Homo-oligomer: A and B are copies of this chain.
Amino acid sequence: MQIGEAARRAGLTVKTVRYYANIGMVSPRQDAATGYRDYGEDDVAKLQFVGKARRFDFSVGECRELLGLYEDRNRPSREVKALTIKKIGEIDARLAELQSLKDELSSLAASCDGDHRPDCPILNALSGG
């Protein structure tokens, strides 16, 4: 099938699918006559897989690893689990960071009157040491 249908079925944009072809992540056959990319069912499955993994915050590089494991019928599930655990750790770190940012900003916002007057604890905090 053509790239448009493959993209629709994978829930991705044509641009994205073309990009994945360019970086060698999901490489379709090429129609010799038209030069059009020719996607098979297996390609669509891979695109769906990658799309889902991306939504799970895996980077393109990690998707490539996961795809390799996905295609290896003998891979140990250990490796997949390790990647997942690592990703969970990263998400945890980012969660903690964002939470602490939010706490600080919230207390700053709470201490600011937010009126027409120029005095502002938020700016004071940002400019202070």
Say yes or no: A69-B123 contact (C-beta < 8 A), given A76-B115, A95-B95, A118-B76: yes
Q: Are A119 and B87 in contact (CB under 8 A)?
A: no
Number of copies: 2
Q: Mark A77-88, 1 if CB is under 8 A from B, else 0.
A: 110111011011
Within 8 A of B (CB), among A1-22: none
Query: In whole Å, how far is A93's beta carbon from the nearest beta carbon of chain B?
Result: 10
Q: A57-B101, A102-B92 are in contact. Are A114 and B81 (CB under 8 A)?
A: yes
Q: How many residues of A are in contact with the other chain, CB < 8 A?
A: 50
The reply to whether A84 and B108 contact each other, CB–CB distance below 8 Å, is yes
Q: Which residues of A contact B (CB under 8 A)?
A: 45, 48-49, 52-53, 56-57, 66, 69-70, 72-78, 80-82, 84-85, 87-88, 91-92, 94-95, 98-99, 101-102, 104-106, 108-109, 112-120, 122-123, 126-127
